[in-house]
Amino acid sequence: MSIEVKVPVLPESVADAVVAGWHKKVGEAVQRDENLLDLETDKVVLEVPSPVDGVLREIKFESGATVTSQQVIAIIEAGAVAATTADDAAAAPTPAQAPKAEAGGVEELPPGARRVAVENNIDPAAVEASGRGGRVTKEDLIQHMRSGREAKPASAPAAEAPAAAIGPRSEQRVPMTRIRQRIAERLMESKNSTAMLTSSNEVNLREVVALRKQHGEAFEKRHGVRLGFMSFFVKAAANALQRHPVVNASVDGTDIIYHGYSDISIAVSTEKGLVTPVLRNAETLDFAGIEKAIGDYAGKAREGKLSLEDLQGGTFTITNGGTFGSLFSTPIVNPPQSAILGMHTIKDRAIVENGQVVAAPMMYIALSYDHRIIDGKDAVLFLVDIKNQLENPGRMLFGL
């Protein structure tokens, strides 16, 4: 019985998708729920699973083709068995020769990692994996290259592999990914549709650092996740958004929509660009809930498994350039949101306390906001609220 494989139903905000790569070839056996191909939209990479056990009989769109919602992209013969020739049987590896199950072949890597492996002629079996389920990630491959270890040929001699780096006075033209194109569009939309302004302040994180040092180990044993800085900032922002609702509002034509909940988007850097999965009802989450949610999103982002639902509907954004060493920046508002909080690197700096010069772990924080609805006073008071909570964490714990 022939079964049609269709493009998943795409949200109204996503017009089409591009076939990023097939994991199966025509004639190969497939299992129910096994990933057949990856589709790249302007927001996420979607996996398309097989609906049945059988054999892949036809591929209607090759890699690079543009497809739309519910379009037939493949045909599977349900219940069929893939033909095995004598040569295939002879070539099959014995149990002792089988590759490590954890690493898998190039075809089993996430799209970004697969591209790095092919372009740099790396055998995934030779790479130490850190991803979920023992999967090799893009970061693992990059670390493998940096370590100076010799890469094993994946399919062709090293001399035939594409150059890993661009030489002096050479150029390389590559098309933007769909996600990168969408990021560019969103940035221009923000620039052209909002009256953006940025206010800043600095925070003494001595008390937060002390709390993490005092309770971090017990927290991790109890909840199974590390106590990071981000949970303090998310909790402080969620509390402040309740007290300064205009910062949590959005513009719709000539109307202002005030949201009675804090769905906070957390900026996460991936190999394809910046994505912003959403912590729903952050005002109701405790520190453990925040850390677990962020950890889950980070893992899904690395493996290209974020869903469209994960990325939609945020009312406010937090971005942390400090993880890359940024001392200060002016983050860009993510419409239709009206504000974004930028965190930065922590540096020991000299400050004056009680007339004495002392060293303290200081961070610059910045709030970019849509000046059409948020006045400077609102922005400054919001930042001061964040500062007061972080410098007095007890206020945060008790919702003060």
Q: List the catalytic residue out of 33, 310, 375, 385.
A: 375
Identify whether 375 is a catalytic site residue. Answer: yes
| pLDDT confidence bin for 361, thresholds 50/70/90 | very high
Q: Where are the domains of the chain?
A: 1-92, 96-165, 180-397
| CA pair distance 67, 8, nearest whole angstrom | 10
What was the pLDDT predicted at 96? Answer: 41
For domain 1-92, is the CATH number 2.40.50.100?
A: yes
| pLDDT confidence bin for 191, thresholds 50/70/90 | confident
In the chain, % helix, strand, coil (3-state, to 5) comes to 35, 25, 40
| pLDDT confidence bin for 111, thresholds 50/70/90 | low
Percentage of residues in the chain having pLDDT higher than 90? 47
Per DSSP, helices labelled H in 312-397 are 376-391, 393-397
* Whether the Cβ atoms of residue 36 and residue 56 lie closer than 8 Å to each other: yes
Identify whether 23 is a catalytic site residue. Answer: no
The overall pTM is greater than 0.85: no
Q: List the catalytic residue out of 16, 123, 223, 371.
A: 371
* Whether the Cβ atoms of residue 264 and residue 238 lie closer than 8 Å to each other: yes
What was the pLDDT predicted at 87? Answer: 47
- State the amino acid at position 190 in one-letter form: S
Q: What is the dotted CATH code of the domain comprising 180-397? A: 3.30.559.10
Higher pLDDT, 309 or 263: 263
Least confident of 44-48, 105-109, 227-231: 105-109
- State the amino acid at position 322 in one-letter form: G
| CA pair distance 72, 87, nearest whole angstrom | 33
Which string of DSSP letters, residue by residue, matches 4-58? EEEPPPPPTT---EEEEEESS-TT-EE-TT-EEEEEE-SS-EEEEE-SSSEEEEE
